[in-house]
Amino acid sequence: MPASSSFDIRRVIRPNILKLEPYRCARDDYSEGILLDANENSYGPAFQAEIGKTASDREEQRISTGADGLSLHRYPDPLGREVKQRVLKLRPSIPSTDNVFLGVGSDEVIDMLVRITCVPGKDAILITPPTYGMYKVVASVNDVDVVKVPLIVEDGAFQLDVDAVIRVAVSNPSIKIIWLCSPGNPTGTYLREEDVRRVLDSQFEGIVVMDEAYVDFVRPERGDSYARLVPEYPGLFVMQTMSKSFGLAGIRLGVGIGSSELVSYLNNAKAPYNVSTLSLNVAMSALSDEGLQKMKYVMDNLRTQRDEYLIPELRRLPHVSAILGGNDANFVLCRFADSNGKTSNEIAKNIYTEMAQNRGLVVRYRGSDYGCEGCLRITVGTPEENKVVISTLRSLLEAIP
Ligand SMILES: Cc1ncc(COP(=O)(O)O)c(C=O)c1O
């Protein structure tokens, strides 16, 4: 029997969160008129005040401070409702804004998910290395165990060992979250739908989180967002971010997509005004029709750079023995070997250090990650930056005997 039909969120959420009485603000009920309910500064942002004007001028001041249209002296909408409406345009399969959670980057969403599900000192999460490092860090901070079921890494496949994931997760009731990442970091690989569905259809009673930070970089013929499975599987929670395809890492806005019940527990537990007015405002532009069109245009360009320049040029370099994984993200995982063809962490590390210290070029050493021996992870840059990557690597690699 598919787990989706027997999934019970109340078995996953911590008892203290189930009975939590969330913080409420008067603004939840009334948001118009003279607003003296939230101890904001009615005079407006002080740095915009006009010195010499008195309190009685404040109406005038308020009009002038409102010129930026952002009312920064007011707390933001606790639920970011307008932004969520626009997220629905980006992912039309999501039924309602009640299925969308906004966090301060995906990193906050990761932390919130662990905090509402895992009892410290008792529960656990399951991760599939090599994977994004924050899952483990957040688990440690919250005193939550980490169970590892590595990906199948042979030939740089980086796909799920589905039988092992299900066996381990089903046999250990303290595991509350299975953490999947598609395309993975550092694997750059989109996870196969049949594997993902098998995990979702298993008897696992916790939440399956699918981190899709890089999903917009996937070539459309390879796959798309698993957000479309959310209506089918109440135990699935998909995470996306404005940091990557939208080029807005600085605004710190992460988007979670799941059942309305799960989203409501996250909303109850979060800080009331977690996402700033400034971030919401920028996200509104990024998620407008024009913003989405531009994001897609940038994605097309970036994928072309990745697939038609960076990867073929890297493959031509001496000592580059493989480009691993599916290349579905905005980075590539490049493996180095010595002159006998043996994978070499030493070469990867030396190149990494020389480039960062003496050539002003910073990439990421990944040689100690499971299945990534001898690898550097290189983000796809602008066409000019990619040319520098290739010429710098060529000069260093040609000098190796
Ligand atoms: C897989 C993955 N998830 C989440 C994040 C964090 O994203 P955000 O900037 O939204 O916190 C990253 C950042 O590199 C990532 O690689």
Distance 156 CA to ligand 1 centre (A): 22
- Examine residue 22 and say whether the peptide bond preceding it is cis (omega within 30 degrees of 0): no
Q: What is the pLDDT of residue 1?
A: 41
Q: What is the pLDDT of residue 5?
A: 62
The pLDDT tens digits for 362-398 are: 999 999 999 999 999 999 999 999 999 999 999 999 9
CATH code for the domain of 300: 3.90.1150.10
Which residue has its alpha carbon closest to ligand 1 atom 13? 213
**In terms of C-beta density within 10 A (0-12 exposed, 13-18 middle, 19 or more buried), how is residue 72 classed?**
buried
Q: What is the pLDDT of residue 4?
A: 56
Looking at the structure, do residues 251 and 319 belong to the same domain, yes or no?
no
Q: What is the pLDDT of residue 52?
A: 81
Q: What is the pLDDT of residue 68?
A: 66
Looking at the structure, do residues 144 and 251 belong to the same domain, yes or no?
yes
Pocket of ligand 1 (CB under 6 A): 105-107, 132, 181, 185, 211, 213, 241, 243, 249, 254
Distance 318 CA to ligand 1 centre (A): 32
Closest ligand 1 atom to 253 CA:
10
Report the run of H or E that residue 257 belongs to, with start and end: strand 254-257
Question: Which residues of the chain are modeled with pLDDT < 50?
Answer: 1-2, 67
End-to-end CA distance of the chain: 59
Q: Per the structure block, which two tokens stand in for 187?
A: 């694997």
Most ligand 1 atoms within 8 A of CB, residue of 241, 279, 333, 366 to mutate: 241
Looking at the structure, do residues 204 and 313 belong to the same domain, yes or no?
no
Q: Please tell me the total count of domains within the chain.
A: 3
CA pair distance 373, 365, nearest whole angstrom: 10
Looking at the structure, do residues 301 and 155 belong to the same domain, yes or no?
no
The runs of H, that is alpha helices, within 172-287 are: 193-201, 260-269, 277-286
Distance 120 CA to ligand 1 centre (A): 24
Distance 272 CA to ligand 1 centre (A): 22
Q: What is the pLDDT of residue 51?
A: 83
Distance 106 CA to ligand 1 centre (A): 6
Q: Per the structure block, which two tokens stand in for 294?
A: 């531009």
Looking at the structure, do residues 314 and 362 belong to the same domain, yes or no?
yes
Distance 107 CA to ligand 1 centre (A): 6
Looking at the structure, do residues 138 and 264 belong to the same domain, yes or no?
yes
The pLDDT tens digits for 16-49 are: 999 999 988 767 777 788 889 899 998 888 888 8
Closest ligand 1 atom to 108 CA:
11
Looking at the structure, do residues 126 and 205 belong to the same domain, yes or no?
yes
Report the run of H or E that residue 101 belongs to, with start and end: strand 100-103
**Which residue range is the domain that position 382 belongs to?**
292-398
Q: What is the pLDDT of residue 84?
A: 98
Q: What is the pLDDT of residue 2?
A: 47
